[in-house]
Structure 1
Amino acid sequence: MKQNLIQEKSFSFALQIITVYKNLIKEKEFVLSKQLLRSGTSIGANVEEATAGSSVRDFRNKMSISLKEARETRYWLNLLTQGKLTALNLETELQELNAIINILYKIVKTSTEKSADSN
């Protein structure tokens, strides 16, 4: 089955986050690394659940959760970098995440508008 753009991007991003997590563990950053791993991999998991949604409302809700998880992940990445808690350069991950956030925002907005139009 062919994946759509957000499925591909969120899965690829989850793999990036797993790599970042492993590097943070090597740097002895245990608390924020787990938060980052949880939220960063949850984005794609919720996208997958959304694509198997039983209704438009279910789809929209799961995509909204993905968007919230993406914003949380951005918070953790910014905290790690701006708080100088890691020597890792996370600019690539932040750029990819911002692209994912933009896509998810458009998906949620469009599905909300379509839902409102059908009522």
Structure 2
Amino acid sequence: MNYKDNDLKDRTKNFTLRVLNFVETIEYSIVKKIIVNQLAKSCSSVGANYRSACRGRSDAEFISKLNIVLEEADETLFWLEIIKEMKWKDTSELDFLMNEANQLTSIFVTILKNTKSRMNLKSN
């Protein structure tokens, strides 16, 4: 593992912490509880599954696990968009989190493309 892996581990963990702190500020209702639970699950899965992907024993395992990370990052963005569109929160923190979710999604897409490309080069 190189320093960039650790940087991304830290970044995904900090993202999880910021989202969890953010959802703590949302007022309670039955509908909000459902969305907040989904958001908390998906955001915490980003960091946890990225760490797991880094421990992958092969490129194929890494790709499989990183696809889960990508799905969870995109799902997190979806729930943040719902919160914004429902006007439950409209803060700079929400904007930051949405931007960070977008950036993380882009990073994971790039890592997946690069890993698959490297695997194809190995097999030729």
Runs of at least 4 residues off by over 3 Å: none
TM-score normalised by the chain length of structure 1: 0.90
Superposition pairs of residues 94-105 of structure 1, within 5 angstroms:
94-105=98-109
Which residue is 2:79 aligned to?
Answer: 76
Which residue is 2:69 aligned to?
Answer: 66
Task: Specify which of 94, 105, 121 is matched with residue 117 of structure 1.
Answer: 121
Aligned counterparts of 2:89 and 2:23: Cα–Cα separation in 1: 13
Aligned counterparts of 2:86 and 2:41: Cα–Cα separation in 1: 20
| Superposed displacement of residue 46, structure 1 | 0.8
| Superposed displacement of residue 5, structure 1 | 2.7
**Gaps in structure 2 of 5+ consecutive residues:** none
| Superposed displacement of residue 7, structure 1 | 1.1
Identity %: 28
Task: Specify which of 6, 20, 23 is matched with residue 22 of structure 2.
Answer: 20
Is 1:43 paired with 2:46?
A: yes
Aligned counterparts of 1:87 and 1:97: Cα–Cα separation in 2: 17
Residue correspondences, number = 116
Which letter does structure 1 place at the counterpart of 2:76?
T
Contact between 2:46 and 2:73, CA under 8 Å: does it hold in 1? yes
| Superposed displacement of residue 87, structure 1 | 2.5
TM-score normalised by the chain length of structure 2: 0.86
Which letter does structure 2 place at the counterpart of 1:58?
E
Which residue is 1:7 aligned to?
Answer: 9
Is 1:93 paired with 2:112?
A: no
Task: Specify which of 21, 31, 36 is matched with residue 33 of structure 1.
Answer: 36
Aligned counterparts of 2:46 and 2:33: Cα–Cα separation in 1: 21
- Give me the CA root mean square deviation: 1.5
**Gaps in structure 1 of 5+ consecutive residues:** none
Aligned counterparts of 1:105 and 1:6: Cα–Cα separation in 2: 14
Contact between 1:50 and 1:62, CA under 8 Å: does it hold in 2? yes
| Secondary structure in 1 matching 2:89 | coil
